[in-house]
Amino acid sequence: MQIKANEALDSVSKIETTTGAGQDELVQRTISKDIHIDYDNGPIGKGRFGTVWKAKWNGDDIAVKVFFSMHESSWSRETDIFQTNLFHHEHILRYITSDIMGLGCTVNMIILTEYHPLGSLFDYLQNNTLNINILSNFLYSIASGLNHLHLEIFSTNYKPCVIHRDLKTKNILVKNNLECCIADFGLAVKFDSLTNRIYGLEDFSLRQGSVRYMSPECLNETLNLRSQECLKKSDVYSFSLVMWECLSRLRVKDIEPEGHRPPFYEYIAGDPEIESMKHLVCAQMIRPRINFLENTSDQRLQQIIDIMQECWSSNPAERLSALYLKKRFKKFISSC
């Protein structure tokens, strides 16, 4: 179900919310009137489509994503993804509702979600190092969330496969229990195997998402849009770079790692151009270095490195599935 900002304005006193199972419920008073955004302390996150603020609603802390006016399609897309049947999961950011907020002569489109004070995984890695237990928790919970996105459920309420298309540490949040949840679905699409069709294809481009995390098949525009498996394996490649970032902040034998760096930092700084990344990843087949973990004697750590390298294979068919990753990392947690 697509929601249009101009349609919402015609009846701003009414909004649609979701239970997370796809059941829509009509609310007679717009939630935006009950939100108190903390503008004094600045935004807690910024992205290509808008900014995220901490706010109060009914005495509880929540996060409010305010979309730039020119990005109505992203607001509509993300709202639609959040309202997907059976979408709710412990390792996916909990959705509250979407609304329209009027500020003077301007109108802002907003999405309300659960607030996580530890911030994004990117922020956490900037300020903290990891031990093997926390690393295992992070990787398991991300794989668990990704598996639920990719999962197609055939039941009374059908859930299509969801492809994230922009998985990176800035789009993953750290929960208070030191597990993670996947967020930011502004570029996500649904794949329905019953019709063999991608929903959200209107402005679909192979080269969308963050260039540094793009899979080889996205960079060289060979991604098979008719294959659900190929689309999912593109997300898995991005996950492998998230794995690398986490590993780069791992304390080994009480030796402090170097500061947090993005993948491929040793080859390309700043915001890379697509052609530069394409040459590096596709032509030269280069992947981030793991010399900081050379000659490790920890068997679990070596297994994680092997898994990561399988996930960033140039051949999508050789990459592991999110379900397999979830099961493997679950075993690591059990052995901690």
Residues at the binding site for ATP are 65
**Cα–Cα nearest to 35, from 91, 118, 117, 115:** 115
- Tell me how many helices (H) and strands (E) the chain has: 9, 13
**Cα–Cα nearest to 122, from 242, 219, 255, 251:** 242
Question: What secondary structure does DSSP assign to 2-45, as a single string?
Answer: ---HHHHHHTTT-EEEE-SSS-EEEESS-GGGGEEE--TT--SE
254 is catalytic: no
Q: Count other Cβ atoms within 10 Å, centred on residue 234.
A: 26
Catalytic residue among 80, 99, 166, 184: 166
Report the binding-site residues. Answer: 65
CA distance 203 to 37: 31
Question: What are the two backbone dihedrals, phi and then psi, of residue 183, each rounded to the nearest 5 degrees?
Answer: -135, 180
Q: Count other Cβ atoms within 10 Å, centred on residue 123.
A: 17
How many residues are given for the chain? Answer: 336
Residues noted as catalytic: 166
